[in-house]
Chain A
Amino acid sequence: MPKISRYLTALLGVTGCIGLLVTGEINPVMAAGGLAIIPGYYRVLRGREAAPAWVIGAASLLTLGVFAFDSIVSGDVFLAVAHLTITFQAIKSYDLKEPWDHLQVYFMSLLQMVIGSEMSQSVVFGVVFVLFLVSLVAAMVFAHFVKEGRGAHIRLARPIVVISLLSVTVTSAFFVVLPRSSYTFLGKSHTKGIRTTGFSDRVDFGSFGEIKRDSTVVMRVELDPDIPAPYYWRGMSLDYFDGTEWRNSSPRQSRIEKSGDEYVLNPHGRSGLVEQKIYLEPIDSDAIFGLTEIMGIRVDSFSARSDSGGAVFLSRKSSRRVNYSVLSEVRDDYPGVASPRYLQLPRGMERIRELARTVTSLGRSDGEKARMIERYLKRNYSYSLEPSPPVRGRGLIEDFLFYGRKGFCEHFATSMVLMLRAVGIPARIVNGYCGGEKNQYGGYLIVRQSDAHSWVEALIGGQWRRFDPTPAVAAPQIPSLALFLDSLKMAWARYVVGFKTDDQKAILRALSSLLASPSFPAVGWKRLRMYGLLITLIGIALASALLLLRGVKAGRHGFASRKYLAMRKLIGVRGRRAGATTPGEVMRMSQGSSVEEEIREFLGMYVEDRFGKRPMMPSERKRYGLLLKSIRTGLKKRRG
């Protein structure tokens, strides 16, 4: 194999293994055999012989044994396969004989990349994939020449670039058209969830400060139609407070009926609804989010459930990345039914009850009272991520309301719920995310851990109305590069990892409508914007491939030669014999012409540049061009 192939192989083989290692999931003991890859490729690069077959065979058998042990003991076949590929990569580095062996290394490292991406579905895979594709094209082309017995010294850069571009195009075309199955059979996921989440089934007042500083993206949302802020991404509501934490007193969940491809929570017509396409990162909960009031959900899942508090759960969702779309009728209140659960109070609430009464004494209706409590909390307490720890013996909320007067959203929301309940208004706390920043690069919202929020819902006049007693805090500014990178991640998650049958249909529809009517389709165009971008990219790829091919032709003649050919045509050298005409013959043909001297000088400059290997200076180029011009006009004059 030529040197370049050996380097390519070593690079790809080692990269595949490292790609797995960086996921952090690899058990160092099980993958220890992979260390042999270092001396292995050292030998390959030094051009040593492959190891004898029996050694390879024995090592492979041993590895398979370890694999069996690994998969039984750990119970995780997926991880065991990852370990297996690392060890096999190492073994293969001692067994590189023919082109096929090298190809095996490439495909093994691609497999490793896929395993790695399954563990962390990162956009890095996309970059690595393109690099991999180019290397694979290069390796295959080299392998072909090696097979023909011509290893070295062939200039292949151009064909490799062209084939790679073609290959990227064809691969994306295949990716788009390959039929997808909607359900998976062996879909055990290995994606790592966000461990410390701002959202959970319960609310305690633990490490909330940390979460508010965590800028990890929780979800990305596309809104259709675009509506203005505020955005309250409702997760689940909790009704039972024991003095230190919130819980749900009725965890019973019921199945949501499915109609067509949609789980319908409330029967609805399509008009006036806001669709939210949400790409939710893995979190420690099965709950999903949406703007109130959620009417229907479209998602690829076995079942969806809801509880009495209006939360929606997907089965086996917690550790998966999921994309779904929510149809909501966006409003601040929606119908609800009163229940004694929403008036529950823990013991020792006298002082708070007192305060609530004082605050609402002037209120004439439940609505007014609620608004007064909200205003009271907003104005008299300040927001802080580091509230002073409560004094022993005092309740958490009591401490906040009467001593510390500083806290974060959960303090405010809890206080408000308790105060509402104290004055007899049914209320509950709602957990979710609030806000989200617009990413102008992708036209979507980014919702982060730091957007985790708690707010209040009060049942007033048979309607659940939303209140947010937490004072506003200035959001930190995110640099635009970070936003741009985030849009790439979004695109990757949306258009590659989250590619669905729906998207195929959309593309097909768009294409057929493009074919059917010359005007752009009015409906669904926005949805296709990303594909428009994709098509543009493919177009650019094809165009550059063509340019490279053209370059062959354009590069055939240099500046001097092109002008010379034009001049030769002017003199009247055409036809079959033109090719065999020398500059000297051109000179003889133009003897006696009025521009003979110009032609002489022109030809002199030409041969010196072309055959004398003395390229023209810029000034000479100018002169050369001028000579051609005057020859042209001179000859025209004669004809005229």
Chain B
Amino acid sequence: MNNNMINPFIKQLKEQINSVIRGKESAVKMAIVALLGRGNLLIEDVPGVGKTTLASALARATDCSFQRIQFTSDLMPSDIIGVSIFNHDTREFEFKPGPVFCNIVLADEINRTNPKTQSALLEAMNEKRVTVEKKTFRLPEPFMVIATQNPMEYHGTFPLPESQLDRFMLHIKLGYPEAEYEKMAVLGGPSFLILDKTDPVVSRQDILRMQAEADGVMVDDSLVDYMMEIVSRTRKDDRIRLGVSTRGAQFLLYAVRALAYYEGRQFAVPDDVKELSPLVLGHRIILKTAKFTADAERIVREIVEEVPVPV
């Protein structure tokens, strides 16, 4: 299976990030896949498991500008996208860009803020541009939002509405690192110390090129049918009230291409679909009873186990 040539850029990128954040290989992989597929990443987990480290490590290794926004209940939309300030010298309003104007934005604890601020960020990340007082400003390329969200059971949160969740390509969990890695993390000192030593291994240009190359990954018709079948089964499942939208199916296709590219293939295989489906589709369905997205992911996993793989 692995007779394919792994892209050297990706190999370096992977190794670099994994050297900073240990024991989170699959999360690192998904972060890179989201970056290659021009998607955004939603990480859901309890605080302090390394979400911030992952995001900043990715940014540093890719030579991308990076901003972390801590979402709080009193954060205003303008705190994110920027404000127009009256310049006394020029006697004109001048746009002062907010933290969203960088390549990688870490939106920490996005469910702590009010819906209005949430949607300001999500709109920006969806359209890759910001409109302030009728002026439009393009966001830099590449652009990626890594949002983190506390699990729903935590009190005092504004869960992202379903329509907003839909805009994230991938929804992953980090989970506590295994004991061994945790020990290493503790012994290795605070992660920001290691971070400072991290050098960029790929340029922004490389990222843009790889994104374009990933678009060219071939996806066999039978695989598209396979994806559509999975998507359509989410719409027919008894446990699900609202199935995956067409947008979700599209994201799955992009993600599958990116994962195939990540694996060094010029074509996608059924494994790509099967691996990604729970992560891409889990947060896009509304269950009839359960409250937690973990259940949704599990149900998608169960659905995928029922769908015949093209041979």
The finding on whether chains A and B are genuine partners in a shared complex, rather than unrelated, reads yes
Q: Which of B27-35, B57-65, B265-273, B278-286 forms contacts with chain A?
A: B265-273
> Known contacts A583-B1, A587-B1, A603-B1: does B306 contact A611 (CB below 8 Å)?
no
List chain B residues, Cβ under 8 A from A613: 218, 220, 267
- B305 beta carbon closer than 8 Å to chain A: yes
List chain B residues, Cβ under 8 A from A564: 311
List chain A residues, Cβ under 8 A from B308: 579-580
List chain A residues, Cβ under 8 A from B274: 582, 584-585
List chain A residues, Cβ under 8 A from B4: 604
Report the Cα distance A625→B311, complex, angstroms. Answer: 17
- B81 beta carbon closer than 8 Å to chain A: no
- Chain B, 285-311, CB within 8 A of any chain A CB: 304-309, 311
**B311 and A561 contact, CB distance less than 8 A:** yes
- A610 beta carbon closer than 8 Å to chain B: yes
Of B2, B266, B270, most buried by chain A (CB within 10 Å of CB) is B270
**A600 and B309 contact, CB distance less than 8 A:** no
- A173 beta carbon closer than 8 Å to chain B: no
- A509 beta carbon closer than 8 Å to chain B: no
Question: Which of A561, A580, A582, A600 is within 8 Å of B3, CB to CB?
Answer: A600
**A607 and B309 contact, CB distance less than 8 A:** no
**A583 and B270 contact, CB distance less than 8 A:** yes
List chain A residues, Cβ under 8 A from B223: 611
List chain B residues, Cβ under 8 A from A579: 308-309
**A612 and B3 contact, CB distance less than 8 A:** no
Of A580, A584, A611, most buried by chain B (CB within 10 Å of CB) is A611
Beta-carbon nearest neighbor of B268 in chain A? A611
**A600 and B1 contact, CB distance less than 8 A:** yes
- Chain A, 526-568, CB within 8 A of any chain B CB: 557, 561, 564-565
- A347 beta carbon closer than 8 Å to chain B: no
> Known contacts A600-B3, A601-B3: does B309 contact A581 (CB below 8 Å)?
yes
- A577 beta carbon closer than 8 Å to chain B: yes
**B1 and A580 contact, CB distance less than 8 A:** no
**B305 and A607 contact, CB distance less than 8 A:** no
Of B220, B271, B304, most buried by chain A (CB within 10 Å of CB) is B271
Interface of B: prevailing SS: loop
Beta-carbon nearest neighbor of A612 in chain B? B267
**B220 and A610 contact, CB distance less than 8 A:** yes
- Chain A, 582-616, CB within 8 A of any chain B CB: 582-585, 587, 600-601, 603-604, 607-608, 610-613
Report the Cα distance A611→B266, complex, angstroms. Answer: 10
> Known contacts A564-B311, A565-B311, A613-B218: does B304 contact A607 (CB below 8 Å)?
no
List chain B residues, Cβ under 8 A from A577: 305
> Known contacts A587-B1, A600-B1, A611-B268: does B307 contact A580 (CB below 8 Å)?
yes
Interface of A: prevailing SS: helix
**A611 and B309 contact, CB distance less than 8 A:** no
Report the Cα distance A611→B1, complex, angstroms. Answer: 13
**A582 and B309 contact, CB distance less than 8 A:** yes
List chain B residues, Cβ under 8 A from A587: 1
List chain B residues, Cβ under 8 A from A557: 311
**A611 and B269 contact, CB distance less than 8 A:** yes
Distance in angstroms from B184 CB to nearest chain A CB is 27
Report the Cα distance A582→B4, complex, angstroms. Answer: 18
Report the Cα distance A521→B139, complex, angstroms. Answer: 92
**B269 and A600 contact, CB distance less than 8 A:** no
List chain B residues, Cβ under 8 A from A582: 269-271, 274, 309
Of B1, B223, B305, most buried by chain A (CB within 10 Å of CB) is B1
Report the Cα distance A580→B311, complex, angstroms. Answer: 10
List chain A residues, Cβ under 8 A from B220: 610-611, 613
Distance in angstroms from A36 CB to nearest chain B CB is 49
Distance in angstroms from A508 CB to nearest chain B CB is 51
- Chain B, 241-292, CB within 8 A of any chain A CB: 265-271, 274-275
Distance in angstroms from B39 CB to nearest chain A CB is 22
Report the Cα distance A608→B268, complex, angstroms. Answer: 9
**A607 and B218 contact, CB distance less than 8 A:** no
Report the Cα distance A611→B270, complex, angstroms. Answer: 9
Nearest first, the 10 A-B pairs at minimum CB distance are: A584-B271, A579-B308, A612-B267, A582-B270, A604-B3, A582-B271, A611-B220, A607-B269, A561-B311, A611-B267
* A580-B306, A600-B3, A604-B2 given; 17 more Cβ-contact pairs under 8 Å: A565-B311, A579-B308, A580-B305, A580-B308, A582-B271, A582-B274, A584-B271, A585-B271, A587-B1, A600-B2, A604-B1, A604-B4, A610-B311, A611-B267, A612-B265, A612-B267, A613-B267
19 contacts between A and B (CB under 8 A): A561-B311, A580-B304, A580-B307, A580-B309, A581-B309, A584-B270, A585-B274, A600-B3, A601-B3, A604-B1, A604-B3, A607-B1, A610-B311, A611-B267, A611-B268, A611-B269, A611-B270, A612-B267, A613-B220
